[in-house]
Amino acid sequence: MPFCTTDPNLRNDWLTVGAASQLRQVSAARPVSARLLGNDLLLWQDDAGAPHCSADGRALPIICRYDYLWVHTGDGPAPALFELPEFAQPGRRIVDCGGIGVATSGLRVVENFLDIAHFPYVHTGTLGKVPHTEVAPYRAVVDPAHGEIWATECHFFQPRASASAGDGIDAHYRYRVMQPLTAALYKTCPNRAGEWDVIGLFVQPLDQEQVIAHVLLVYDEDVLPDAEMIAFQHMIFGQDKPILESQRPRRLPLTGSLEAHMRCDLTSTTYRRWLHQRGVTFGAHAQPLP
Amino acid sequence: MTQPGNWYPALPAQSLPAAGAVLAASVHGQDLALWRSASGSVQAWEDRCPHRGVALSLGRVLGDRLACAYHGWEYAAGDGRCVAIPAMPQQPVPGKVCVKTFAAAECQGMVWVAPGATPPRDAPPVAATDTAPHFLRSMAIAAPWATVEAALADPLGFTPAGPCQWRGHWAGHGGLLLWTLDAAAHWCLLHVASAAPPPQTELPSLFGALRLLRERLHSAADT
């Protein structure tokens, strides 16, 4: 079965097929399957613990980084995967929250991850609360060195910024988009001033309108058991899911006036322009819609 | 499939509560958010927020405004214009941000919507009755709308009483009024009323007859 897109942004980049932990005790004799870009892949690990991947009887490059598996489906040379130096920082707590299926374009999922204005309405009582709805001006730029988007100086009142947060805080955020379908957010650590908790969002595109959103926590926090931190993220993503699945069109409009933009949407408009300039068509409407 | 300027019966008016609720409906291919303003007038809006495309039927009614569930943007009853953007409370709302709205009317106990691009010139083409019909039930029919419309006339013997409206008798029960609604490709809705409230003792046989009617419509679709 061929892959369902020729979009070079996806075919020439590393795409995740989920956590590396799924290959524990998976040998070549009994591989596991994973879906990516409309195709079925087989995954296993060899005796030395190295991951392997095949599709249509052909071996594909696969690497394990940040506890996740990344596959390259293109014919050309694979680029370097993005850097996430916090992952290897001593004292960091790494918690894989698993994947959540979402029936929409992965670009919609990433755009939602980059948005703070929805906190009071969708994550009421945790990440936001009416009447604290105002989004103060922030910056969003494309870093010329790496071609990544960085949104900085974002801050927002949060009644309960994380599973272990006690009182409300004015949480500070920085967002980073590494690839069209991978992003990270850096947020104020409620328990340790000056440190940033990192949340990685790695979207696995099953096809143009179905994805698995994987969430990896790279936290300084060491108070709560894993299960509570995972449950908090599942609650947050469970609140986003019905909103995301109701969006029409499912594919992200990159140009045109179908959707209105305000200054508070700067990250979203920067992301859409960045996708458009890269020529992304997968999961997108590249041409204006009526 | 929508005819310009045509009215379609969307749902019984009693199913749309007085205030606070937003219902999702699909009327002849158009997804709608239906709600009532503070004065009770029915609003039929495209089920899509012009900001990020989220279904407005997930939203919340605030008096004469409907607020989107995603970012709380508020839209005014009547023209659907955006009147508040809570993320930017100090800024004036741009005049061009507007939900697409459709003509809606309440007539003979039904909510009627004209989902076409052209607003209708006339009132909904309801059949004349002496009294307001007594609503009985709505049924989902697992058959395309056109098939159901054809079968109601022949072989089931109902008489056309206007677009998407039928009257007649069935299995010994007279004075029935039927509305059909094209809800999706493979099924449609049938709303049923009677001219007068039926006596309590007749209800079991009447509702049994309506289930039989649904079976007949299903068989008509199979043949």
pLDDT digits (tens, 9 = 90+) for A69-101: 999 999 989 999 999 999 999 989 999 999 999
pLDDT confidence of residue B107? 85
Q: Which of A133, A263, A289 to mutate to test the interface with B (most CBs of B within 10 A)?
A: A133
pLDDT confidence of residue A188? 83
Residues 6+ apart with CB under 8 A from B147: B220, B221
At A290, is the pLDDT very low, low, confident or very high (cuts 50, 70, 90)? confident
> Is residue B131 pLDDT above 80, yes or no?
no
Q: Is B26 left (phi over 0), alpha (psi -120 to 50) or beta?
A: beta
Q: In chain A, pLDDT over 90 holds for what percent of residues?
A: 88
Average pLDDT for A19-40: 96
pLDDT confidence of residue A162? 80
At B162, is the pLDDT very low, low, confident or very high (cuts 50, 70, 90)? confident
Report which of B19, B66, B84 is spatially closest to residue A131, judged by C-alpha positions: B84
More confident residue, A209 or A220: A209
Report pTM. Answer: 0.94
pLDDT confidence of residue A7? 96
CATH architecture, domain A85-277: Alpha-Beta Complex (3.90)
pLDDT confidence of residue A282? 98
CB contact under 8 A, A248 and B70: no
pLDDT confidence of residue B117? 81
CB contact under 8 A, B72 and A259: no
Residues of chain A positioned with their CB less than 8 A from the CB of B88: 134-135, 262-264
pLDDT confidence of residue B128? 60
* Chain segment A86-145, per-residue pLDDT in tens: 999 998 999 999 999 999 999 999 999 999 999 999 999 999 999 999 999 999 999 999
Euclidean distance between CA atoms B114 and B112, whole angstroms:
7
Residues 6+ apart with CB under 8 A from B181: B8, B9, B10, B11, B27, B28, B145, B164, B188, B189, B190, B191
* Chain segment B42-57, per-residue pLDDT in tens: 999 999 999 999 999 9
Euclidean distance between CA atoms B189 and B186, whole angstroms:
11
At B1, is the pLDDT very low, low, confident or very high (cuts 50, 70, 90)? very low
Residues of chain A positioned with their CB less than 8 A from the CB of B94: 260, 262
Residues of chain B positioned with their CB less than 8 A from the CB of A263: 88, 91
H-only helix segments in B30-164: 145-153
| Orientation of helix B203-222 relative to helix B145-153, angle to 10° | 110
More confident residue, B59 or A162: B59
Residue among A130, A249, A263 whose CB faces B88 most closely: A263
pLDDT confidence of residue B132? 77
Element (H, E) at A142: strand A139-143
Average pLDDT for A213-234: 92
CB contact under 8 A, B70 and A262: no
* Chain segment A169-190, per-residue pLDDT in tens: 888 999 999 999 999 999 987 6
Residues of chain B positioned with their CB less than 8 A from the CB of A248: 31, 47-48, 53, 55
At B91, is the pLDDT very low, low, confident or very high (cuts 50, 70, 90)? very high
pLDDT confidence of residue B3? 57
pLDDT confidence of residue B129? 63
Strand boundaries in B159-219, DSSP class E? 159-160, 165-170, 173-182, 188-194
What are A's interface residues with B at a Cβ cutoff of 8 A? 117-118, 120-122, 130, 133-135, 242-243, 246-249, 258-260, 262-264
Residue among A120, A249, A260 whose CB faces B97 most closely: A260
Euclidean distance between CA atoms B222 and B147, whole angstroms:
10
Euclidean distance between CA atoms A131 and A108, whole angstroms:
26
Residues of chain B positioned with their CB less than 8 A from the CB of A247: 52-55
pLDDT confidence of residue B18? 83
Q: Does B31 touch chain A (CB under 8 A)?
A: yes
> Is residue B6 pLDDT above 80, yes or no?
yes
More confident residue, B126 or B174: B174
Lowest mean pLDDT among A159-173, B34-48, B51-65, B73-87: A159-173
Residue among A122, A133, A249 whose CB faces B70 most closely: A122
Strand boundaries in A144-209, DSSP class E? 148-158, 169-179, 182-188, 196-207
Min CA distance, A248 vs chain B (Å)? 5
Residue of B nearest to A243 (CA): B54
Residues of chain B positioned with their CB less than 8 A from the CB of A249: 53
Question: Which two tokens mark A62?
Answer: 């696969």
CA distances to A116, A124, A186, A187, A200 from A158, rounded to whole Å, are: 11, 9, 15, 11, 20
So where are chain A's domains?
8-72, 85-277
Q: In chain B, pLDDT over 70 holds for what percent of residues?
A: 95
CATH number of this structure's domain A8-72: 2.20.25.680
Residues of chain A positioned with their CB less than 8 A from the CB of B69: 121-122, 243
> Is residue A165 pLDDT above 80, yes or no?
no
Residue among A121, A134, A243 whose CB faces B89 most closely: A134
